[in-house]
Amino acid sequence: MFSFICGTLTLNLTLALFALVCCPGSGEKAFTVHVRPKKLTVKPKGSLEVNCSTTCNQPEMGGLETPLNKTVLAEQTQWKHYLISDISEDTVFHCHFTCSGEQVSVSFNVSVYQPPTQVILTLQPTWVAVGKSFTIECRVPAVEPLDSLTLFLFRGNETLHSQTFGKGAPALQEATATFNSTAHREDRHRNFSCLAVLDLLSRGGDIFHKHSEPRMLKIYEPVPDNQMVIIATVVSVLLFLFVTSVLLCFVFSQHWRQRRTGTYRVRAAWRRLPQAFWA
């Protein structure tokens, strides 16, 4: 019996020693670090407030790591509230705390955005025949991030085309969407428009919408080829008659002038005849 008890104690001591050697931190209470808000968006050169906190009751140290300007607005033992200023591009920040010699860090992203403020729609050409093609172009200057932007082209309430964009350079850029369509008779009564949607929900922001001014096409019926021949013939005949009438007027005017000039010369000769006789 005694040997059994001794064996049991020896086994327990061995297991305890193994636990201390292999898992020296198992007796410490784990802690976490939190950031509020988790996802952030800000306009270029903007500022935002960030709160870093921990579940550790007595952290040895903690703070926010960033290359940008930061100001501590308020703090307590388990949290610190910061103001980050002059954010001009997408940046990753780190909140960290150290508790019982162990450090835990949490990273979070800040996205810089510029919502669409101007949406420009153009139709080329604006005067088009039924059945002919034309181009719809939508431009949105100075917008970011491009990978969160979608452009929709509408004919009335019908969506003709939608376009998304890949991730571009971290700067304000112009987004353009084009679509080729065929003119229909009904298009003379329809408005064409463009809608820009900047969706920042996945980045912790909002959704921004901006519409273009509506545009309308000038639609006309194409003229058949035989009708064009008739029109060209009529125009040619009218032009010929006009030129002929001008020439005839010129000829008759010259003839009339010559006749008038000849009559005056005969009368002058008759007047000089008596003078010559009496002389």
Six token digits for residue 10: 């020896």
End-to-end CA distance of the chain: 192
Q: What are the residue ranges spanned by the domains of the chain?
A: 30-112, 120-220
Q: Which of 144, 141, 146 is nearest to 165 (CA)?
A: 146
Q: Retrieve residue 61's tokens.
A: 């140290």
As averages over each run of 10 residues, the pLDDT of the chain (279 residues) reads 43 42 49 87 92 94 92 94 92 93 91 94 94 95 92 96 80 87 91 96 92 94 66 78 78 67 55 56
**CATH class name, domain 30-112:** mainly beta
Whether the CB-CB separation of 110 and 44 falls below 8 Å is answered with no
120-220 matches 30-112 in CATH topology: yes
DSSP annotation string for 68-121? SEEEEEEEETTEEEEEEEEE-S-EEEEEEEEETTEEEEEEEEEEE-B-----EE
Provide the pLDDT for residue 47.
92
**Per-residue pLDDT, 3:** 47
CA distance 13 to 7: 10
What is the amino acid identity at position 115? P
**Partners of residue 111 on adjacent β-strands:** 41
Cβ(253)–Cβ(228) under 8 Å?
no
Torsion on CA atoms 240, 242, 245, 250, rounded to nearest 10: -110
Characterize 123-160 residue by residue with b for buried, 16 or more Cβ atoms within 10 angstroms of its Cβ, and e for exposed. Answer: beeeebeeeeebebebbbeebbbbebbebbbbbeeeee
Q: pTM for this one?
A: 0.65
Residue pair 82/64 in contact (Cβ under 8 Å)? The answer is yes
pLDDT in tens, 99-128: 999 999 999 889 999 999 999 999 999 999
Looking at the domain covering 120-220, what would its CATH class be? mainly beta
Q: Quick one: pLDDT at residue 135?
A: 96
- The strands making up 91-99's β-sheet, listed across from edge to edge, are 40-42, 102-112, 91-99, 61-65
